Amino acid sequence: MIGFIAPLLASALTLAPVLTGGGWANVTAPPATDGRVTLVDVFAFSCINCRHVTPELQHLRREYGTDAVTIIGVHTPELPEERVHANLRAALADQGISWPVVYDDDSRIWNAYGVTAWPTQLLFDKHGRLRERFVGEGYDAEIERAVRTLVAER
């Protein structure tokens, strides 16, 4: 397992930086998040650790559907070729990423949440408040447990 789980007790961080980000891949407008648990995956398409997280995100999407859980990718490029949107769109298709992805070319979203590494998953409750942060890979069980808990909350 690489990375760490950063505990968040009461967070003032919301989904606003993600939903007001730049352009989108896979959709034409920000996705609906009201009343849904939202998992935000901060990644770069060339990052091998990021690719290791994708199967768990695909599993969560199949398991919970889009009515209970919204998955949003935040693509924050590290390498010059990752800044080319056509390359990102091709990589999304190649990696089977069909959920909405916002372009974070200027790292504004990355900085708003204090992200320090790829991949980072940010888990928001049904009210859009940041509740969990997972940095690195290898947290499939912990992420699924946290999603299940938040989905069950009223």
Res 9 pLDDT > 80: no
What is the pTM (predicted TM-score) of this model? 0.92
pLDDT-above-90 percentage for the chain = 88
Given a cut of 50, whether residue 10 has pLDDT beyond it is: no
Q: Mean pLDDT highest for which of 19-23, 57-61, 63-67?
A: 57-61
Question: Is residue 1's pLDDT more than 50?
Answer: no
Quick one: pLDDT at residue 140? 96
pLDDT at position 108, please?
Answer: 96
Decide if pLDDT at 64 tops 90: yes
Q: Does the bond joining 119 to the residue before it have cis omega, within 30 degrees of 0?
A: yes
Residue 101 CB-density burial (10 A; 0-12 exposed, 13-18 middle, 19+ buried): buried
- pLDDT tens for 102-141 read 999 999 999 999 999 999 999 999 999 999 999 999 999 9
